[in-house]
Amino acid sequence: MLSEVKAIEKKALQLPIDDKVVLTETLLQSIYAEKLIDVEDSWLKEVEKRYNSYSEEKSEGIHVENIFTEIRKELGWEKRQNVNAENKQPIAQV
């Protein structure tokens, strides 16, 4: 196996730069695609579990604004108004 990899490597190093880029991208996609498939499968199972729980009324769910309010509290970002120091005008709500 190692000798086969070395032979492929030797040929790949002789390729023009554009071909090396294409080969590299293809190899990286093949590596990360497998990991992403595992993550997607796990997330899909979790989403199905949550949806089933919600649709069977085992869970009421949480309104999105309540979720963001909780996150802001936990991070110490409770709703506040940013003010422009020069003219004391509100910039944005956080």
| pLDDT tens profile 3-25 | 899 999 999 999 999 999 999 98
pTM here?
Answer: 0.37
84 dihedral zone (left: phi>0; alpha: psi -120 to 50; beta):
beta
Is the distance from CB of 13 to CB of 6 less than 8 angstroms?
A: no
Domain positions in the chain are: 2-93
| pLDDT tens profile 33-51 | 767 777 788 888 898 988 8
